[in-house]
A = this chain, B = another copy of it.
Amino acid sequence: MTGVQPTIEGVLGFKVAGAHCGLKADGALDFALIVSDRPCVAGGVFTRNQVKAAPVLLNQAHIQKNPNGIRAVAVNTRCANACTGQQGADNALAMARLVAGRVNCAVEDVLVMSTGVIGTQLPMDKIGLGVELASAALDESRWHDAALGIMTTDTRPKLASVTVQTDDGREYHIAGIAKGSGMIAPNMATMLSVIVTDAALETDQAYLHLRQASDSSFNRIVVDGDMSTNDTVLLLANGASGVSIASAREQAAFLEALTEVSQSLAQRIVRDGEGVTKFITLWITEAPDQESALKIANTIATSPLVKTAFYGGDANWGRIVAAAGRAGVPLQPEQMRLWMASGQGGESPDDRLLLYSEGVPTDYSEEAATGIMRSDDITVWLSCGSGAAAAVIWTCDLSHDYVSINGHYRS
């Protein structure tokens, strides 16, 4: 497998486009279309929010009804089509029908995604224009435009791809685009992503692999702890490379590659989170079990006090320990240890700074701690000292800009 590239090239049988159809006031691309030249096996992972947007419900129905026949995905920005009742459901279906007319397929072969403000109806005239313009622009090379066309408060497009060589010298591709920014939380990572592959998957494989890859990528990122009505990750496999993923060995290689693409996109979402100035890798180790480790990690990652301390570059490790203490997991403070390091290093405890051990702060250098806290890429390890489970999540700080962006999002 090649390393993950931040660009997309050479994936077979897909044409894509971005378009500007008047949803964004500033003339930026605001609509995207992804079309396969043949039917795809599709899987989807969706928000667990009880309040689901109309496109989420439509996609769940279409994939259930038609898991081997998906041909296209259309995405609009500026309107989430959530809390929109029957008219919202009708509009999501109408959007799919417009795409089906252009692609020349059945309406059930089309998936749709919406992101933006909750509680307003889709402006169907603009959606129609978006479908028309994007259909006309479809091309194998326009992945960058598609990635731009799904952005909301994102500042950068997010693309990732890998090429996988099989044992017999053939190759296939996995490529994805994503948007995120605010409302990013686990269960499920609050964002939109479309991942495609020109490998051939069996029915249900798409969902099973996507579920597993998402659990160690999109479900491991926290920007603000919120979970949207629209979160969706889709995987479409069209088989255009001629490579089938069948044996256990092939499946393992596929899952590994899919996970790398997913993690690359997920981490890029955190780095580009609203107002983010610092990227934090948070390891919980020696926990009683994986569920407890994730509970502790998420409590720390959503704590405003922890996040503002990172923003301020203040080595206030006590807030991390205090957040762990309220996670609802039994802990013995005198068995806990906490280290920090700059960047992604510190694999060995020798390369980390130990700040807290056996219930008390160590005799660490405040200067060294502040040096780590002031870097823009920080890794934290919190050992519970009470088991063998570990979990990692990726999160960020909470800045003035987050407040500015979200105080006035609709205006």
The stretch that binds B, out of A172-180, A199-207, A330-338, is: A330-338
Contact B314 A410 (CB under 8 A): yes
Chain A interface, >50% SS class: loop
**Interface: A360 (CB within 8 A):** yes
Task: Provide the bound-state CA to CA distance between A286 and B400, in Å.
Answer: 37
Residues of B within 8 A of A85 (CB): 334, 358-360
Quick one: copies of this chain in the complex?
2
**Interface: A398 (CB within 8 A):** yes
Residues of B within 8 A of A326 (CB): 48-50, 185, 187, 226-227
Contact B407 A360 (CB under 8 A): no
Contact B407 A224 (CB under 8 A): no
Q: Which residues of A contact B (CB under 8 A)?
A: 48-52, 80, 82-85, 87-88, 117-120, 182-183, 185, 187, 224-229, 302-305, 308-309, 311-314, 316-319, 321-327, 329-331, 333-334, 356, 358-361, 398-400, 402-404, 406-411
Answer whether A333 and B50 are a contact pair too, CB < 8 Å, given A85-B360, A225-B303, A360-B85: yes
Task: Provide the bound-state CA to CA distance between A110 and B228, in Å.
Answer: 50
Contact A314 B226 (CB under 8 A): no
- How close is A335's CB to chain B, nearest CB, in angstroms? 11
Residue of B nearest to A404 (CB): B400
Residues of B within 8 A of A229 (CB): 318, 322, 325
Task: Provide the bound-state CA to CA distance between A326 and B188, in Å.
Answer: 10
Task: Provide the bound-state CA to CA distance between A52 and B332, in Å.
Answer: 10
Task: Provide the bound-state CA to CA distance between A230 and B388, in Å.
Answer: 30
